[in-house]
Amino acid sequence: MKYYITCYIDYIRLHIACNSLIKLLAPFNKGTLSILTLFSLGLSFSNHALAAPFEVLHWWTEQGELQSKQVLVDHLKVNNIEFEDFAIVGSGGGGAIHVLQMRALSGNPPEAAQIKGPDIAEWNNLSMLVGINELTDTSAWQQFLPKVVIDDISVDNNYMAVPINIHRVNWLWLNTKIFKQYGLAAPTTWKQFFATATFLTSKGIKPLVFGGTPWQDALLFESIAISELGAEQYKQAFVEFNHDVISSPEMVNTFKLFKRFHRYATPEQQGQDWTWSSQAFINNEAAMLFMGDWVKGSWTAMGKKAMQDYQCIPAPGTQGVFSYNIDSFVLFKKAHLSPDQHSQSIFVDTLMSPSFQQDFSQLKGSLPARTDLDLSGFDACSQLSSTDFKHDSKVPSFTQNMATSSHQKAQIIQLISDYFNSDSLSAEDAVRQLGVLVKALTSK
């Protein structure tokens, strides 16, 4: 009888979890949802001891990312924590989130997972996360974490995630060899950009390379939106979902300017992720690339150097604005298991340690989340990023899950990508569709 009661309680818990996770699982179609729900309800739990390895879900799978991940593995090993790799490749983290949702439905999440932005609050609302304040003394964090980082990892004034770095998203990368060969100046306006691109095309040089996935289309759109709307209206549109800004003439102009970039698309790019375009760029196959500074980590792994092999400037028209992406980790509660707070505490303290954050970001291409570290050993692009972060207006990157939930982001970037690749959809139509979509996403 005790067994059946336990199973029934597990069933109720899973039923509640399934209902709560519907919004998180919205990117799946209805058929998949049904299968996942049946799958999860068919599982049962058993009491067993927490395994020694510390399982961590992430999407660091590219060469440079693997080197920076190894920094975490090594730092944990020093503290007798065995890192168990749970890596999901591709989709800018989208695939990893979907796998995590399935693991959570089954009642068996990893010990830690790479979660960021508004998704932190959504997972916390499901009562699945361990509060960081319960694991370590966080009283000093306000002294060395920027406000945007604190706001990102906090839910109801409690820290629910551990921040490790800050990426800048609105970068334009210039191939030094090509720009020097033709004596070209860095374009700081869109007029200069298109003039440079036209000149390079006339010389048989590919002016711009980018991959062929929706999030990469939207990443380019994001920089254009910042330049056309400005920092405040960008936040009103993509953080606050202000309908007046979304339906404004400036937004129409943003879509029109965005569409001009489609002339640089090639058949070979379709389905290619950012690693493909970053390789083409650094191999001198193209002159320019729009991408966040995580791309720099792959070039560092290849022995390439900032200002020698490539140059970095803010995307045209976005000078004075810093579009940020913060990598952070959450810790999960385990069904029927007493939490290993000792390992969890070591994990948190390791990620927040100055030595880890410094070593990790130097390889990752990012800035440490902590602002009290010596960056004199970082490259010139990181130095520029650090200076700009201190002085620029800061906006959360909606393409990197910093402004909206992953569910909202997925639908918005799909609309943007569909417009970019459409032969018939006008900018005005796209803006109207965006307005309808946002209203649907925010309706209760």
**Cβ 183 vs Cβ 318: under 8 Å:** no
241 shares its domain with 359: no
116 vs 403: CA distance, rounded Å: 10
134 shares its domain with 196: no
Mean predicted confidence (pLDDT) in 328-335 = 90
256 shares its domain with 404: yes
Q: What is the per-residue pLDDT across 256-314, written as a single tens digit (0 to 9) for each?
A: 999 999 999 999 999 999 999 999 999 999 999 999 999 999 999 999 999 999 999 99
**Cβ 106 vs Cβ 315: under 8 Å:** no
pLDDT of 31? 42
**What is the per-residue DSSP string for 321-346?**
EEEEEEEEEEEB--TTS---HHHHHH
Of the listed ranges 21-35, 126-140, 286-300, the one predicted with least confidence: 21-35
Would you say residue 14 has pLDDT above 70? no
**Cβ 370 vs Cβ 352: under 8 Å:** yes
Give the CATH number, domain containing residue 63. Answer: 3.40.190.10
Mean predicted confidence (pLDDT) in 349-361 = 97
**Cβ 370 vs Cβ 357: under 8 Å:** yes
Q: What is the per-residue pLDDT across 185-231, written as a single tens digit (0 to 9) for each?
A: 999 999 999 999 999 999 999 999 999 999 999 999 999 999 999 99
Mean predicted confidence (pLDDT) in 142-158 = 97
Mean predicted confidence (pLDDT) in 360-366 = 96
pLDDT of 401? 93
SS3 301: helix
Would you say residue 140 has pLDDT above 60? yes
More confident site: 311 or 17: 311
381 shares its domain with 401: no
More confident site: 15 or 236: 236
pLDDT of 10? 39
Mean predicted confidence (pLDDT) in 16-38 = 42
Grade residue 26 by pLDDT with cuts at 50, 70 and 90.
Answer: very low
116 vs 218: CA distance, rounded Å: 18
The owner of tokens 């950012």 is 274
Is residue 390 exposed (0-12), middle (13-18) or buried (19+ Cβ within 10 Å)? Answer: exposed
More confident site: 11 or 387: 387
Count of domains observed in the chain: 2
pLDDT of 52? 61
Grade residue 4 by pLDDT with cuts at 50, 70 and 90.
Answer: very low
290 shares its domain with 436: yes
Choosing from 370, 390, 410, the residue where a domain stops is 390
Q: How many CB atoms lie within 10 A of CB 94?
A: 20
**Cβ 165 vs Cβ 145: under 8 Å:** no
For residue 204, what are the domain limits?
Answer: 171-324+391-442
426 shares its domain with 320: yes
What's the mean pLDDT when you consider all of the chain? 88
Would you say residue 50 has pLDDT above 70? no
Grade residue 5 by pLDDT with cuts at 50, 70 and 90.
Answer: very low
Strands (E), 147-214: 154-155, 158-159, 162-168, 171-175
pLDDT of 339? 59
275 shares its domain with 336: no
More confident site: 334 or 346: 346
357 shares its domain with 256: no
76 shares its domain with 147: yes
125 shares its domain with 261: no
90 shares its domain with 146: yes
Would you say residue 338 has pLDDT above 70? no
52 shares its domain with 160: yes
The amino acid sitting at 172 is L
Torsion (CA) 135, 67, 91, 380 in degrees, nearest 10: 100
**Cβ 404 vs Cβ 239: under 8 Å:** yes
pLDDT of 42? 38
